[in-house]
Structure 1
Amino acid sequence: MTQASRRSVLAAGAALGIAPLSRARAQANTIRIGVLNDGSGMYRDISGPTAAACVRQAVADFGPRGFAVEVLYADHQNRPDVGSNIARQWIDTQGVDAILDVTTSSVALAVNDICREKNKVHINSTAATSDLTGARCTPNTVHWTYDTWMLARSTGGAMVRAGGDSWFFITADYAFGHALERDTGNFVRQAGGRVLGQVRTPFPGTTDFSSFLVQAQASRAKVIGLANAGTDTTNCIKQAAEFGITRRGVKLASLLMFINDVHSLGLQTAQGLVCTETFYWDLNEGTRRFTDRVRSAMSPNMPAMTHAGCYAGVLHYLKAVQDMGVAAAKASGADAVARMKGMPTEDDCFGRGSIRADGRKIHPSYLFEVKTPAESRGPWDYYKLLQTTPTEEAFRPVAEGGCPLVRS
């Protein structure tokens, strides 16, 4: 072998040794975030690719801080088995450190358990079940944006105070719908009202709610509580309008409705409905700044509170990673969440806040009424603020949730 050939072999051997080492070092200094939600079904507009765009915006706004961040995206099809398989594959084979968003409460509860088992971070923005910070809480989970207890207290409580003291529920037949019906029913009864009945609708799989609306109307309840979301909610509202139910004096309580749903319905149909959200794009200067930054990446959609929660949750997580160090954050999701709980939160979407011991991110909630077409100044100018529930009152008291992480 010539001297030149020997040098070539040695150089090649050195390269073979260095390349894996360089990749390992790069991976060790990279945080991988998986955005898991409904990318093609009934919740696409309130989660979907827009949530991933907001996560990427949070990474961009966080800026270079000495470590890399990669964002993955997948559609769980609103199926717990699909979501669980994706979560395990991400963690076991792709080195994902945190799983974000996770629409649909049944999927969220499954991913919640996996993240605890694998000691990774779960920051949930779009699932509503309050059990994530109750009996099913874990040291690895932060529930950011809203939950069924908050919705029940705000929207349900307002309807009872306005005279709606008898209720019939149309409920999506899975964990979220059950939890929302349960929490709202509790508030109705505590206020002296009555729950006259309920009907469970298949999830997913129905677009015709006529028979359910007929049952609700036959109960003679003053309020029909819609314990559903997404296209289920908009279809219920459209069909109730077609049947003239509200013209007969019956009130519809849209217990979980987003600005994207209002856009789908149109103001002519949605006007006068009340709903609770924790973010509205035109609420204040901070929300408008955030919307200006992300709007081009999500057009023609607009950010809902769920999208804002994805942005704010990732931003705070990255601050915790920077504070504790990448190696420590990757080694233990529970330690990363503990660091998140120990740091005050601040972002354009929700302002200043904090995360409680049970993993509940707390901030104010807002009761909105949908404007009439005459009141609206233009596209997406849909809400007028009725009341604000302050941070310390918006969510279930930490001692009442049954979270085993909370010491009595």
Structure 2
Amino acid sequence: MAASAATLVTGRARAAQPIKIGVLTDLAGPYADDSGKGSVVMAKLAIEDFRKMNAGLDVELISADFSDKPDVAANLAAQWYDREGVDLIIDVPVSSAALAVANVAKQKDKVAIFNAGSSALTGAHCTPNTAHWAFDTYGLASTTGRAVVEAGGKTWFFIQANYAFGASLVEDASSVIEASGGKVLGTVKYPFPETSDYASFLLQAQSSGAEVIGFASAGADSSNLIKQSSEFGLANGKVKLAALLCFIPQIHALGLQASKGLLVSEAFYWDLNDGTRALAERYAPQVGGAKPCTIQAGCYSGVLHYLKAAAALGVDNAKKSGAAVVAKMKEMPTDDLAFGKGRLREDGRKIHDMYLFEVKAPEESKKPWDYYRYLKTVSGEKAFRPLAAGKCPIVKA
């Protein structure tokens, strides 16, 4: 499978070998809008910004499509690490593939930074060579659950994809909802991937009398649930709809008429502050005017922090041991345009604030991609799973 390569940062005092970064992503599949070319562009922007801090460190970037398959991802990772001298692999927005690459990174003593969903990456499957960056299922579910309950949405009913990922979303959200004083009235599971008709499940959720209906789903399922909810008139002001995993490209594809009033949690929104707007302004011309989403912002933030740590450690030492670079990343606070100030926790979980947004109605949107109304901030320390609860084997008791 071909990979594209370009040397992006050069300086007068060249290192003997460049730091080499590989964006392993979905360039043509169902996650291409959330990651794909946008993730590559954001990695390039991070390298440009790092150059302003350290013009003497060479950085080379390559990218490839792993076809959303764990075996393809693991094979590409091994090839990159062994034959092409890649020091960092970033993105891998599919959990099963990220878990496969994590094993390879540990075996080769290289670095991998993930923008996939599964919180197992900082739990039972954590390693000293990996970091989990933009979000995880626990952070999204707990942010939505906590913030909505605190805003008055006390009773919930879930429509859940009937597989492990959907179950994890419901479990994580339910624990936070109940701890915050809310109540889960019930859950209905739809067969995955056998159905795209959610009428009976939506009617069951509506008849529960819950104040909030939560969608524990992803990708096309989430989009179809949101669209059919609008067609059935569920978002009528009396009931709130909350998507536990939904990024702004999906809202763009659905349109505001279908998604207005939807509650979503994100770690990043392009119009959140001056820093995010400046980043989006540089990004948009390279992707046909689109705005970056949380996963793509994770590539910017992760690459930038990795390069800061590699420079602090020294290029030779950084190339010698990926675990040493990750350890240095954990020592240094994170700070960038995408997520602001934060830290990389002992288990590899990137800690930063999470936000609850409501999707605007069409008449409220004043410019392209002006889709979210800010509702609430949940601090990273509260949003993500407590360190002890993850039972990461590299964390000392």
How does the TM-score come out when normalised to structure 2? 0.88
Q: Describe the superposition over 1:347-382 as per-residue Cα deviations: whole angstroms up to 9, x where unpaired.
A: 111122211111111111111111122222121111
Q: 1:319 to 1:185 in 2, by over 3 A?
A: same
Give the conservation status (yes or no) of the 8 Å contact 1:170–1:216.
no
2:89 is aligned, of 73, 79, 99, to 99
**Correspondence for 2:109:** 119
**Correspondence for 2:336:** 347
Give the conservation status (yes or no) of the 8 Å contact 2:267–2:355.
yes
Pairwise CA distance, 1:208 = 4.4
AA of the residue aligned to 2:320: A
Give the conservation status (yes or no) of the 8 Å contact 1:143–1:359.
yes
- After superposition, the CA RMSD in angstroms is 2.4
Q: 1:213 to 1:54 in 2, by over 3 A?
A: same
Q: 1:273 to 1:31 in 2, by over 3 A?
A: same
Give the conservation status (yes or no) of the 8 Å contact 2:134–2:350.
yes
Say which is worse superposed, 68-77 or 378-387, in terms of deviation: 68-77
**Correspondence for 2:72:** 82
AA of the residue aligned to 2:281: D
Give the conservation status (yes or no) of the 8 Å contact 1:188–1:195.
no
Secondary structure, counterpart of 1:384 in structure 2: strand
Pairwise CA distance, 1:235 = 1.6
Q: Describe the superposition over 1:277-315 as per-residue Cα deviations: whole angstroms up to 9, x where unpaired.
A: 111111111111111222211223210111111001101
AA of the residue aligned to 1:317: Y
Pairwise CA distance, 1:179 = 2.5
2:175 is aligned, of 186, 189, 205, to 186
Give the conservation status (yes or no) of the 8 Å contact 2:153–2:182.
no
In structure 2, list runs of 5 or more residues that go unmatched: 1-13
Secondary structure, counterpart of 1:235 in structure 2: helix
Q: Describe the superposition over 1:206-261 as per-residue Cα deviations: whole angstroms up to 9, x where unpaired.
A: 65444654565576655432222233211211122223344495542201121212
Query: Does residue 1:337 correspond to 2:326, yes or no?
Result: yes
2:189 is aligned, of 199, 214, 229, to 199
**Correspondence for 1:11:** none
**Correspondence for 2:50:** 62
Secondary structure, counterpart of 2:245 in structure 1: coil
Say which is worse superposed, 76-85 or 159-168, in terms of deviation: 159-168
Please give the alpha-carbon distance, in whole angstroms, between the structure 2 residues aligned to 1:219 and 1:311.
42
Q: How many residues align?
A: 380
Secondary structure, counterpart of 2:342 in structure 1: strand
Say which is worse superposed, 31-40 or 316-325, in terms of deviation: 31-40
Give the conservation status (yes or no) of the 8 Å contact 2:111–2:130.
yes
* Percent of paired sites with the same residue: 49
1:143 is aligned, of 132, 154, 166, to 132
In structure 1, list runs of 5 or more residues that go unmatched: 1-25
Give the conservation status (yes or no) of the 8 Å contact 2:240–2:263.
no
AA of the residue aligned to 2:122: T
Query: Does residue 1:268 correspond to 2:257, yes or no?
Result: yes
Say which is worse superposed, 192-201 or 365-374, in terms of deviation: 192-201
Higher helix share: 1
How does the TM-score come out when normalised to structure 1? 0.86
Give the conservation status (yes or no) of the 8 Å contact 1:278–1:365.
yes
